[in-house]
Amino acid sequence: MTIILTLQANADAGRLRGELQRLGLWAQPLSNPAGQPAAFALGQHSSHVPSAALAALPGVAHVLASAAGHPLLDALRGQTVRVGPTLRIGAGAPPVLAAGPCSAESADQVLATAVAVKQAGGSLLRGGAYKPRTSPYAFAGAGRDALGWLRDAADRTGLALVTECLAESDAARVAEVADLVQIGSRNMQNFALLRAVGATGKPALLKRGAAATLSEWRLAAEHLLASGCPGVIFCERGVRGVDSETRNVLDLGAVALLAGVDALPVWVDPSHAAGRRDLIAPLARAGLAVGAHGLLIETHPDAATAQSDGAQALPFQDLFALTADLPFGA
Ligand code: PEP
Ligand code: MN
């Protein structure tokens, strides 16, 4: 059993830690993004103290317990994640569209795409400034310049911005411009990166590792939350399969489970699941049909010249056709 004690605002954390030690409990302090102690996690091998006794200790606000090891995540069931000034994502809120290029390539490309995303009913602009690439010689993103293009285009069109953070050293810079910080599939279990992104205080979009179990995925979300992240949206983007005709296998059962059983916010990314533009529309519809709270879709003004993932980029007209009869919230 993993137990977390959240602290009252005026709690004396040092005194509480002393009390916990006296009871034979090994307590790990968790800080909020401002660096203040916000909670204590009790070690698995601590002695057993009944919840009611823990709740009665001076300074304790709540006792959260989880046999699966993710009490902070469990506490968010049924709640929405707040993104930017107005968006709420998750159970009870209408599904949202996040769309944009795989890579932000120029200010013009990003702005033209943001205008199209807005026209398609989107709420968020996506685009990579820092790209994880399988080959070290492939385009790795335009970096800081791209962050500026993305923020500017999002502001000019009234969209929120989701963009990937690839390295711990970039976390503060990415979080400064992003409303939602993407953790890429390859980094789902990069725990140092999860800690750095969590500590920025921005909500996170956590993509599923290509061979990650649901339990590993949930625990990765717990890492973010334990570091101060205010909310996590899961993003199913397909897992490794046996066939190469689609890039990955879109695990719709996982989406139905997270959305319908766990009551946690989850999006579907049909672009990286399919790897080909002719399958984006049916997979997007399937994702919404099983309960996804949003779609992450790659679109490009001229897919033939895209620096990355051109084969799966939707032309704007196809994005408009797809979204025309889908129920997106603004
Ligand atoms: C992306 O969103 O462009 C991306 C790199 O996705 P993933 O991490 O799912 O491969
Ligand atoms: Mn991509």
Answer yes or no: is 328 within a domain.
no
Q: Where are the beta strands (DSSP E) in 135-278?
A: 160-164, 180-183, 204-207, 232-236, 266-268
pLDDT digits 0-9 by tens, 67-118: 999 999 999 999 999 999 999 999 999 999 999 999 999 999 999 999 999 9
Q: What pTM did the predictor assign?
A: 0.97
Nearest CA to ligand 1 atom 1: 102
Same structural domain, 52 and 135:
no
DSSP string, 185-205: GGGTT-HHHHHHHHTTT--EE
Q: Measured from the CA of 128, which atom of ligand 1 is nearest?
A: 3
Q: Where are the beta strands (DSSP E) in the chain?
A: 2-7, 27-31, 37-42, 60-66, 81-83, 87-89, 96-100, 124-126, 160-164, 180-183, 204-207, 232-236, 266-268, 294-298
Which residue, among 181, 201, 183, has the nearest Cα to 192 in the 3D structure? 183
pLDDT digits 0-9 by tens, 120-148: 999 999 999 999 999 999 999 999 999 99
Q: Measured from the CA of 182, which atom of ligand 1 is nearest?
A: 2
Same structural domain, 170 and 287:
yes
Query: What is the whole-number distance in angstroms between the Cα of residue 308 and the centre of ligand 2?
Result: 6
- Look up the CATH number of the domain holding residue 130: 3.20.20.70
Q: What is the dihedral of CA 284, 286, 292, 297, to 10 degrees?
A: -10
Q: Which two tokens stand for residue 4?
A: 């977390």
Q: Which two tokens stand for residue 68?
A: 């699966």
pLDDT digits 0-9 by tens, 241-284: 999 999 999 999 999 999 999 999 999 999 999 999 999 999 99
The whole-number average pLDDT for the span 275-300 is: 98
Residue 230 CB neighbour total at 10 angstroms: 17
Answer yes or no: is 329 within a domain.
no
Q: What would you report as the CA-atom Rg of the chain, rounded to the nearest whole angstrom?
A: 21
pLDDT of 200 over the 80 cut? yes
The whole-number average pLDDT for the span 44-63 is: 90
Label residue 330 by pLDDT band (50, 70, 90). Answer: low
Same structural domain, 60 and 102:
no
Question: How many domains in the chain?
Answer: 2
Which residue, among 220, 231, 169, has the nearest Cα to 196 in the 3D structure? 169
Same structural domain, 20 and 78:
no
Among 66, 90, 113, the domain boundary falls at 66
- Fill in the DSSP letter of residue 48: P
Give the Cα separation of 62 and 313 in Å (integer): 46
Residue list, ligand 1 pocket, CB within 6 Å: 102, 128, 132, 184-186, 207, 237, 272
Q: In 3-state terms, what secondary structure has residue 115?
A: helix
- Ligand 1 probe mutation, 126, 181, 182, 183, most atoms within 8 A of CB: 182
Same structural domain, 56 and 103:
no
- Ligand 1 probe mutation, 180, 185, 308, most atoms within 8 A of CB: 185
Nearest CA to ligand 1 atom 3: 102
Boundaries of domain holding 35:
3-66
Give the Cα separation of 272 and 295 in Å (integer): 12
